[in-house]
């Protein structure tokens, strides 16, 4: 079984987001970037399945600018075998990314495609579902547990009401929840070894996919600020305020 894992480079989750004054987006210059957190879970799960002898190869793919390759390199350092970097500049919508990934799937013919359930920058939560629609493959979104059984997967999904278990036939798409596993850290020797693993570079323009945006971002602004609160002196005052002023209890 061959597993393709898609990873995205995003602003690190610990960074305070700052909106650009001209309203065109958020500040990304000199800001720490990392792999989208649930994409780390996707890589971890693929590597674990390979370590359990149920997969033969893990290929990490990213779509994005030059520096996006760092996320593939990180995936290689925690156990992916090789990488693919589809190079493209500018804002890409999930629809465009899923069309690019469809081309990579056509070329690589993986049995499974894993990725995070959502990217923490645009918060769209679309790419995995869109890719499975384009491929007409089954989709197991928000996965918190994956059991590989021959040519099937049993996947437990996080849904609002609790948990749902489905069985999907391979080939299939799985989008990963943070609860799926605990991503490992790359050891220094593995980081060194990863530098020798191959990363294939592909220009998005060579894939024949129209990636032009369909959505217009009119402006990006700061969310409304909360009005300053007060400090209360003691618990009795707090409860009185909640009861009589805010009227929430």
Partner 1 sequence: MAVLLIAEHNNKELRPFTLNAATAASQIDSDLHAVIIGQNSADAAKQLSELPVVKKVLSVEGAHYENFTAENFAPVIVKLAENYSHIVCSANTFGKNLMPRIAAHLDTSQVSDIIKVISPDTFLRPIYAGNAFATIKSNDAKKCVTIRPTSFDPCESTGGSAPIEKVDPSEEFSNTKFIKREEIKSDRPELGTARIVVSGGRGMQSGDNFKLITEIADKLGAAIGASRAAVDAGYISNDHQVGQTGKVVVPDLYIAIGISGAIQHLAGMKESKVIVAINKDGEAPIFSVADYGLEADLFEAIPQFMDELNKLNTIQK
> Using the rule CB under 8 A, which residue among 21, 52, 162, 195 binds partner 1?
162
How many of the other CB atoms lie within 10 Å of CB of 234? 8
Q: How many whole angstroms separate alpha carbon 133 and alpha carbon 137?
A: 7
Kindly give, in sequence order, each residue whose CB lies less than 8 Å from that of residue 193, ignoring residues fewer than 6 positions away: 77
Consecutive H or E run containing 77: helix 69-77
- Say how many residues touch partner 1, by CB under 8 A: 78
Restricted to residues 52-81, the positions that interact with partner 1 (CB under 8 A) are none
* Shortest Å distance, C-beta 8 to partner 1: 14
6 binds partner 1 (CB under 8 A): no
* Shortest Å distance, C-beta 189 to partner 1: 26
Kindly give, in sequence order, each residue whose CB lies less than 8 Å from that of residue 160, ignoring residues fewer than 6 positions away: none
Burial class of residue 56 in the structure, from the number of CB atoms within 10 Å of its CB (0-12 exposed, 13-18 middle, 19+ buried) = exposed
Restricted to residues 217-246, the positions that interact with partner 1 (CB under 8 A) are 217-223, 226, 229-232, 234-236, 238-239, 241-243, 246
Q: Which stretch binds partner 1 (CB under 8 A): 6-14, 58-66, 184-192, 199-207?
A: 6-14
Kindly give, in sequence order, each residue whose CB lies less than 8 Å from that of residue 206, ignoring residues fewer than 6 positions away: none
Q: How many whole angstroms separate alpha carbon 73 and alpha carbon 107?
A: 21
91 binds partner 1 (CB under 8 A): no
14 binds partner 1 (CB under 8 A): yes
159 binds partner 1 (CB under 8 A): yes
CB closer to partner 1, 66 vs 167: 167
Q: Which stretch binds partner 1 (CB under 8 A): 55-63, 79-87, 128-136, 196-204?
A: 128-136
19 binds partner 1 (CB under 8 A): yes
> Using the rule CB under 8 A, which residue among 179, 190, 191, 200 binds partner 1?
179
Between the CA of residue 21 and those of 120, 222, 247, what are the distances in Å? Answer: 21, 9, 37
């Amino acid at each position: 079984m061959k597993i393709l894992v898609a990873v995205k480079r995003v602003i690190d989750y610990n960074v305070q987001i700052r909106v650009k004054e001209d309203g065109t987006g958020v500040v990304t210059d000199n800001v720490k970037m990392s792999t989208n957190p649930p994409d780390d879970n996707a890589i971890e799960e693929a590597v674990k399945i390979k370590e359990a002898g149920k997969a033969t190869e893990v290929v990490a793919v990213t779509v994005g600018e030059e520096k996006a390759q760092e996320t593939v390199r990180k995936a290689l350092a925690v156990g992916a075998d090789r990488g693919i970097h589809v190079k493209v500049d500018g804002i890409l919508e999930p629809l465009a990314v899923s069309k690019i990934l469809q081309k990579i799937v056509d070329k690589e013919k993986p049995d499974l495609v894993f990725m995070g359930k959502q990217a923490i920058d645009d918060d769209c939560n679309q790419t995995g579902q869109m890719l499975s629609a384009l491929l007409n493959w089954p989709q197991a979104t928000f996965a918190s547990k994956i059991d590989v059984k021959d040519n099937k997967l049993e996947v437990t999904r996080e849904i609002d009401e609790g948990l749902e278990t489905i069985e999907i036939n391979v080939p299939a798409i799985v989008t990963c929840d943070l609860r799926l596993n605990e991503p490992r850290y790359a050891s220094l020797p593995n980081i060194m070894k990863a530098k020798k693993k191959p990363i294939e570079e592909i220009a998005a323009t060579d894939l024949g996919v129209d990636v032009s945006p369909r959505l217009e971002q009119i402006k990006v602004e700061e969310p409304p600020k909360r009005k300053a609160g007060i400090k209360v002196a003691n618990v009795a005052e707090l409860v009185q305020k909640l009861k009589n002023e805010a009227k929430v209890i």
